[in-house]
Amino acid sequence: MIKNTYTARFAVLLLLPSFACVTPGPPVPAPPAVADGLNLKPNSADQRAATDLLVKLIQADTSNPPGNEGLAVTVLSEFFKAHGIKTRVLTPDGLEDRPILVAELRAPRRFKKPMILLGHTDVVPANPKAWKNGLGPFVGREQDGYIWGRGALDMKGMLAVQAMSMVLIKRHFEKSKTHKLERDVFMVATPDEEDAGLGAQYVADNMEKLFGDRAEYVINEGGIGLRDLITQGQNIWAVSVAERGNVWIEVSVKGETGHGSQPWDGFAVQKLIDGIARLRRSPFPVHLNRATREMLRRTAPAAGFPRGFMMARAWLVKGSLTSKRSTNASVRNTCVETGLRAGGPRPNVIPPKASATFDCRILPERDPEQLVEAVRHKLGIDEVEIKVISKRPGTQSEWTSQLFGAFERHLPADGRDVVAPVVSPGSTDSAWFRLKDVPYVYGIAPFMISQADLATMHGVNERIAVSELHAGVARLTRIVADIAGALRPQFKD
């Protein structure tokens, strides 16, 4: 008994270093508390204006394809004109019928680089017959405390919030005797995000021409507030600071042709199917990005012991991260077949060629060329031809900025809310700006929603709570005020 006691104590002593506090993450600088000196809360008329704007934006059917984004640009232009905010409509080559809108608030004397509120006006298509309870994707109905329609979450709801925030910033800073803008703020609404991102790519390529300088901060979609994401009762503001890139490839295999009544081993279709099966059985290795580790560290305390202990030490939860589609896609490269092509002139002819397209996604700091070679190895097909259709690397911003500090100040409702950096499994227009060396590009829609509401994005009965739309206006306005505003010299301590 004594021996066993000493053994147990010795084991505890060995484990003590593991139970020590996890190394804190990198410090996030606090922003100037500019918003605290202003009453930026939207009044009832502001809330009604934001609701009406979103309804009109939803009613503008900008399904891509074909886009017709000019319908939404007209709605936004009329809104800004009514509130005295200057706008420009851009129609660059290749986008003549798909305009870009730029609304601007200029600082009287600019001391800092611009800030961009970025959004897209196109939406994914919707089948009206699939929508329930008499709701239609482009009706824009306000019902049961929600606004319903395609784009309510992705991302016309955020466009409405950004536009209303511009109005409130203008109102409180333009004639203020105590506060001023010290950086220009631009709201940019682009077309084609749901396809090739041509609008945002043009803007990113021409920042100096359009804004007079390269932006320092961009706030876009890509993250959102989610209830019960990891731990029941915990709200997480998942700020996308990184995104996987995409590598789209076409794989072609050749073989003998012949009569379908006399099959043999090794014809093209069989080789391709067997290769795809080998690829599916051999997933890419898990890589815990810096942002993923920080997210786990920040969310671990609410999980309690022992789960929180394991979350804080991210290497212990690789299995749980890969058990869900969303988190699995954030911790490894993936490659999935999205198209198959083969077939002879008749059903009884074995074709001499078969091909497949793959949507491969690659984490930041990973090499696209190495991914292609890994796919070749995993397929295990002799004499396979791989053609890269398009590629864009993963991108990442550090979260050690005053803007991330402003998120920490103004997004949480109480002490249980956690603001955490995350890696987005998909890609957005943010990538174009990171690739042009904008230092801080973040994706966060300022709405706290449920998993059920999230599931309607790109799906049936897409919706956003009216209360969250209004709360989102207040949150974003305070964030912008902290980053773009300043006290006038005579009112500083």
Q: Which has the closest alpha carbon to 241: 409, 414, 420? A: 420
**427-433 mean pLDDT:** 96
Question: Are residue 249 and residue 298 in the same domain, yes or no?
Answer: yes
Is position 27 within any domain? no
Residues 303, 417: Cα–Cα separation, whole Å: 13
Query: CA 397, 401, 404: angle at the middle one, nearest 5?
Result: 85
Q: Which of the four pLDDT bands, split at 50, 70 and 90, describes residue 142?
A: very high
Question: Are residue 400 and residue 386 in the same domain, yes or no?
Answer: no
> pLDDT digits over 310-367, tens only?
777 776 777 778 887 778 889 999 999 999 999 878 899 999 999 999 999 999 999 9
Q: In percent, how much of the chain has pLDDT > 70?
A: 94
Residues in CB range of 428: below 8 A, 6 or more apart: 193, 220, 221, 222, 240, 243, 443
Is position 458 within any domain? yes
Is position 2 within any domain? no
Q: What is the pTM (predicted TM-score) of this model?
A: 0.91
Residues 6, 420: Cα–Cα separation, whole Å: 42
Model confidence at 373: pLDDT above 50: yes
Model confidence at 14: pLDDT above 50: no
Model confidence at 102: pLDDT above 90: yes
Name which of 83-92, 121-130, 203-212, 226-235 the model is least confident about: 226-235
Query: CA 91, 92, 97: angle at the middle one, nearest 5?
Result: 45
Question: Are residue 234 and residue 85 in the same domain, yes or no?
Answer: yes
Q: In percent, how much of the chain has pLDDT > 90?
A: 80
- Of 345, 372, 392, the position where a domain reaches its end is 392
Question: Are residue 315 and residue 179 in the same domain, yes or no?
Answer: no
- Report helix angle 44-59 to 70-82, nearest 10: 160
Comparison of pLDDT for 3 and 243, the residue scoring more: 243
How long is the chain? 493
Question: Are residue 256 and residue 348 in the same domain, yes or no?
Answer: yes
Q: Which of the four pLDDT bands, split at 50, 70 and 90, describes residue 22?
A: low
CB 239 within 8 Å of CB 424: no
pLDDT for 59: 98
Burial 392-426 (b: 16+ CB within 10 A, else e): bbbbbbebebbbbbbbbbbbbeeeebbbbbbbbbe
- Of 363, 392, 421, the position where a domain reaches its end is 392
> pLDDT digits over 392-426, tens only?
999 999 999 999 999 999 999 877 799 999 999 88
Phi and psi dihedrals of 224, rounded to 5? Answer: -165, 165
Facing residues of 269 across strands?
Answer: none
Question: Are residue 144 and residue 60 in the same domain, yes or no?
Answer: yes
The CATH number of the domain holding residue 413 is: 3.40.630.10
pLDDT for 15: 37
Is position 166 within any domain? yes
Question: Are residue 405 and residue 279 in the same domain, yes or no?
Answer: no
**94-116 mean pLDDT:** 95
Q: Which domain holds residue 383?
A: 245-392
Question: Are residue 198 and residue 272 in the same domain, yes or no?
Answer: no
**Two tokens, residue 133:** 């309870």
pLDDT for 19: 38
pLDDT for 201: 97
Question: Are residue 372 and residue 304 in the same domain, yes or no?
Answer: yes
pLDDT for 491: 61
Cα end-to-end span (Å), the chain: 68
Question: Are residue 40 and residue 183 in the same domain, yes or no?
Answer: yes
**279-303 mean pLDDT:** 92
String of DSSP letters for 153-184 = TTTHHHHHHHHHHHHHHHHHHTT-SSEEE-S-
The CATH number of the domain holding residue 263 is: 3.30.70.360
Is position 26 within any domain? no
Is position 17 within any domain? no
Residues 304, 393: Cα–Cα separation, whole Å: 37
Facing residues of 179 across strands?
Answer: 487
Is position 16 within any domain? no
Question: Are residue 254 and residue 382 in the same domain, yes or no?
Answer: yes
String of DSSP letters for 364-392 = TT--HHHHHHHHHHHHT-TT-EEEEEEEE
Model confidence at 20: pLDDT above 60: no
pLDDT for 2: 41
Which range scores top for mean pLDDT: 145-159, 256-270, 338-352, 405-419?
Answer: 145-159
Is position 428 within any domain? yes
pLDDT for 13: 35
Number of separate domains in the chain: 2
Q: Which has the closest alpha carbon to 411: 175, 236, 202, 198? A: 236
Question: Are residue 152 and residue 264 in the same domain, yes or no?
Answer: no
- Of 357, 392, 427, the position where a domain reaches its end is 392
Model confidence at 7: pLDDT above 60: no
- Which residues in 30-108 belong to E strands, given as ranges? 86-90, 100-105
Instruction: Work out whether the CA dihedral 321, 426, 364, 217 comes out positive or negative.
Output: negative
